[in-house]
Amino acid sequence: MGGTFDPIHYGHLVTAEEAFVRFGLDKVVFIPSGNPPHKANRSVSDGSHRFIMAQMATITNPHFDVSRIEVDEDGPTYTVDTLKRLKAGEMRDAELIFITGADAILEICSWKSPRELFALCRFAAATRPGYVVSDELIKSVSAFGADRLEFFEVPALAISSTDIRLRVKEARPVRYLLPDGVISYIIKNGLYR
Ligand code: ATP
Ligand code: MG
């Protein structure tokens, strides 16, 4: 499961756990993205912060891991390159499933080398109850292999990192949206103020 994870929250964790069971996975690896180049639109927290928060949030789950593969890179990283590196190394024999939110699938079709990407991994896209898969989405994905994409439902969790960052900034409550340890880490390091 790739993402910015700025910060990681219960939407991510519930989705990962559901995918773990639904697809009979051996483990879920959270891969926080690398640091965007300077002057990128929004200032994303340093990769070391995002990595530590992901570790804190997953530490009690024996089948959750966090990878440094992207945060240790300078500049932007592309999922296709990350997956190729994983496949060349420790995950040589693994069957890879990329877990994502269904809303991100259209975006993925515009990522670097989508054809190669869909060959490297299958996609598991989380939908909320009542979510209707649009014809536009099916059409976009079918160019790369619709059989490489599967939807799965997670309980409605209208949690986003954007909302959490705004709440921290405005001193509104964030408790129960993300793990307590992550909240303490955010306060201690003065993130999102
Ligand atoms: P931001 O608001 O900064 O975009 P985010 O909450 O969307 O953050 P990301 O790090 O962008 O979090 O998301 C990583 C992955 O998790 C993406 O595939 C995204 O679609 C998925 N995701 C994010 N929030 C949820 C949620 N509440 N339920 C299910 N999946 C989610
Ligand atoms: Mg997002």
Indicate if the pLDDT at residue 114 is higher than 80: yes
Q: What is the pLDDT of residues 42-72, one digit of tens each?
A: 689 999 999 999 999 999 999 999 999 999 9
Map residue 189 onto helix, strand or coil.
coil
What is the 10 CA–ligand 1 centroid distance (Å)?
Answer: 10
Q: Tell me the average pLDDT across 72-98.
A: 91
CB 35 within 8 A of CB 44: yes
DSSP state of 148: G
104 ligand 1 Cβ < 6 A: yes
3 ligand 1 Cβ < 6 A: yes
Q: Which residue has the higher pLDDT, 75 or 169?
A: 169
